Amino acid sequence: MNKEPSKLRQVQPESKYCNLELVGQGQFGRVFRANHKINGQVVALKELEKNRFPTANFLRELHFLLSLQHPNVVSFQGLEHTASGRYLIMDYCDGGSLRNLMNLQGRIDLALSLKLVIDILAGLEHIHSRKIIHRDIKPENILLSQDSQDSTGWIARISDFGMSRLSHELCTDKQDDCAGSPAYMAPERFYGQYSQHSDFYAVGVLLFELVVGLRPFSGLPGELLKAHINQAVIIPETVPFLLRSIITKAMQKLPSYRFQSATEMLASVRLAAQVEVANTSLERTAESLFDISFSSV
């Protein structure tokens, strides 16, 4: 979901919501921040334009959302039908998207980056347990909510199931089956194939981008296709060893060589995060000892 300048939209009389403010533009329609007319609750209204998002796709996404309830997945609250269109009523995430945070801060602190990836994998663990493949994991589809119980301040939540499919679902529309975001697509996705391993590949690209500051491959869609299929991932030596190992495994060309479950990848990232915390603590202790020794001279 891409940020756009805020715009107020005229409210339809029959709508339960008011103060519609445009906060994003997705692949299939716009997203508005709105308030419930009676209780004032802030929600996100995701507009799904009929000419860009057919009824069959609308019902598929609705089915997925109804089956998902997890802290790291944006929750579905209901439907809104008015003369102006049809909307999914979703939780409003006040932190915007991960892409917004990356654009604002540039390189995000490593501890926060790992915490957000842990959140994403916890959400994927739940999504995959429902036999759903997201197929479009990228910073624009990761929304942030404030987390008062965590020192990092943010909780990541997976959104936008417009591209999602059931793991056993066969798609007859090959153009739709190959659709997605080329910068984050696993090699098999360019051939209309997908599995939960395709989501792990996308998380690997996202993790690379967070810790390095840029994506592993760049260029036009055709160039990205060739890179994802043929080009080895080069990870800077400055990236901690455990993270290099995780990214390398997540971004293997063959799905069978990647992590076999979100649980497995989640455990690896959690271990890397624990090591990072321990290393940071040791560095701070060493700096304190150095300061004490220097001041006593």
Residues taking part in catalysis? 136
> For residue 85, what are the contacts with CB-CB under 8 A and spacing of at least 6?
29, 47, 48, 49
CA distance 151 to 86: 38
Distance between the two ends of the chain, CA-based, in angstroms? 57
Q: Which residues of 81-120 are buried (b: 16+ CB within 10 A; e: fewer)?
A: eeeeebbbbbbbbebbbbbbbbeeeeebebebbbbbbbbb
**Alpha-carbon gap, residue 269 to 114, rounded angstroms:** 7
Phi, psi of 269 (to 5 degrees): -70, -35
